[in-house]
Amino acid sequence: MTSSDQKIKFAVIGCGHIGKRHAEMIQRNDEAELVAVVDTKDKALLGVDQFNVPIFNSIEELLKSGLAVDVVNIATPNGFHAQHALECLEARKHIVIEKPMALTKNDAEKVIYKALNVHKHVFAVMQNRYSPPLSGSKN
């Protein structure tokens, strides 16, 4: 088992159903550590007390906190994905982003270009891409 100093530190933005799933998966991984969650809703309404991490109301609040974060998982409503990715990339964080990465080709290209310029990775979640019912595979 790795020490907590060697664990990859994650923050999850968006505490809806998918964001909570991201947080749960992070907590199940011995090499990862959930260090924060972010949502604009009132903390009492989020139902994230089980994660026992700081809760921030904005990305800006998280980034200004000085909390060490390696990767930001973006699970906000689709229309915010590109904007949130750009904010986190500007702060030199790696990104895991729910699909769609952006709503327009132009915004997707901005995210990719920014990631290349700040030397950070962007991973778009496509967990069912090769599932037989979705891929058309008959195997």
16 lies in some domain: yes
Q: What is the pLDDT of residue 50?
A: 87
| Predicted TM-score (pTM) above 0.85 | yes
103 lies in some domain: yes
Calpha distance 74→125 (Å, rounded): 10
3 lies in some domain: no
59 lies in some domain: yes
The CATH number that applies at residue 24 is: 3.40.50.720
Judge residue 98's burial from the number of C-beta atoms within 10 Å of its C-beta, 0-12 exposed, 13-18 middle, 19 or more buried: buried
What is the H or E stretch that residue 139 is in? none
| Cα angle value 86/40/27 (rounded, 5°) | 80
**pLDDT, tens digit, for every residue of 98-115?**
999 999 999 999 999 999
Establish whether the linkage from the previous residue to 77 is cis, with ω within 30° of 0: no
Range of the domain at 19: 8-135
Task: Count up the domains in the chain and report the number.
Answer: 1
78 lies in some domain: yes
**pLDDT, tens digit, for every residue of 14-57?**
999 999 999 999 999 999 999 999 999 988 888 888 899 999 99
